[in-house]
Amino acid sequence: MKNVLVIGGDLRQRYLAEDIEKTGTNTSVYFENNKDLSSLEEKIKNSDIIVCPVPFTKDKKNIFSTQCSTDLDIEDFLNYINSKHTVFGGNIPQNIKTNFKEKGVDYVDFMNIEEVSVKNAIATAEGTIAEAIRHSSINIHNSKCLVLGYGRCGKVIAQKLKALDAHVTIADRSEEKLANGFSFGLETADIYNLEGTIDNFDFIFNTVPKLLIKKNIIDLMKKDVVIIDISSAPGGVDFEYCKALGVNANLCLGLPGKYSPKTSADILFGAVKKYL
């Protein structure tokens, strides 16, 4: 029987460990409330499968954790693993994947699994809208919303906003994606030419990890606009300028772990279970 180690992360990892344990698999965890005081090196040595969090890292130095583990240095982790291990994780950086290959370590990136990515986009979209409601004094209903980027997350966000009776505009550099959005009854805009329309929107949702909302765009926005940015840090918004002007701009990361950790863990478990 394989021995599985679940490390780092947020509440998703706790639920995921419980799901794996229910299959009868030998399961151990490495975060704050460990039942034993074994070191990470010892736990890895006694494991065959290591389930890392989504995302794998945020600072590129440590494995991501909100659960207070202090010795999750990536360099140490890479020194502990070997070719007997299989590693799961989300958004694993390319340099770490290269290291895995050099060591002969099998790995699975959750975000490269289509089913996981699509279902994760649903959890992200619901969390994104929850953040918008939390930060605003108006309804989503009948509001004017702009979604920057019409990829997996942007598409689901736009669909759910439309279902809430918002007036939704999508902006993307891909003409094909814009045409696809238009076919679903969405308004469309050129993502690189927003100056003429940006003042129309009550909510702006950014999914693009590129600085798009710059000073010249921010100057034209409604003063009470709510910006929710879910792109990878540092985001696609000039947050310092927004703060100076009092614009309500928010970088919201890890939303599945915050709003739906149990459902999100079940999605990840589906991928791990197939391997087991």
Least confident range of 33-47, 81-95, 140-154, 254-268: 33-47
Q: Give the CATH fold of the 120-257 domain.
A: Rossmann fold (3.40.50)
C-beta of residue 30 within 8 angstroms of C-beta of residue 8: yes
pLDDT above 90: percentage of residues in the chain: 89
* Residue 194 to residue 157: CA distance in whole angstroms: 19
The predicted structure's pLDDT at residue 22: 94
pLDDT of 275 above 90: no
The predicted structure's pLDDT at residue 37: 61
- pLDDT tens sequence across 79-106: 999 999 999 999 999 999 999 999 999 9
Q: Are strands 49-51 and 144-148 parallel, antiparallel or unpaired?
A: unpaired
Q: Do domains 3-112 and 120-257 have the same CATH topology?
A: yes
- pLDDT tens sequence across 54-68: 999 988 999 999 887
C-beta of residue 201 within 8 angstroms of C-beta of residue 225: yes
Q: Which 3 state secondary structure label does DSSP give 148?
A: strand
How many Cα atoms within 13 Å fall on the side-chain side of residue 84? 9
pLDDT of 241 above 60: yes
Q: Give the CATH fold of the 3-112 domain.
A: Rossmann fold (3.40.50)
Tokens of 196: 């003429």
pLDDT of 38 above 80: no
Determine which helix (DSSP H) or strand (DSSP E) holds 227, and give its type and residue range: strand 226-229
Which range, 30-34, 66-70, 161-165, 253-257, is most confident? 161-165
The predicted structure's pLDDT at residue 32: 72
pLDDT of 36 above 70: no
C-beta of residue 201 within 8 angstroms of C-beta of residue 146: yes
pLDDT of 35 above 60: no
- pLDDT tens sequence across 162-208: 999 999 999 999 999 999 999 999 999 999 999 999 999 999 999 99
CA–CA–CA angle 165, 140, 240 (5° rounding):
140
Number of Cβ within 10 Å of residue 80's Cβ equals 16
Determine which helix (DSSP H) or strand (DSSP E) holds 257, and give its type and residue range: helix 255-259
Q: What is the DSSP letter of 202?
A: S
Tokens of 91: 């958004």
Residue 204 has φ and ψ, to the nearest 5°, of: -130, 125
Tokens of 76: 């140490």
**pTM of the entire predicted model:** 0.88
* Measured CA distances, 115 to 7, 52, 97, 181, 236 (Å): 23, 18, 21, 21, 26
Map out the domains of the chain as residue ranges.
3-112, 120-257
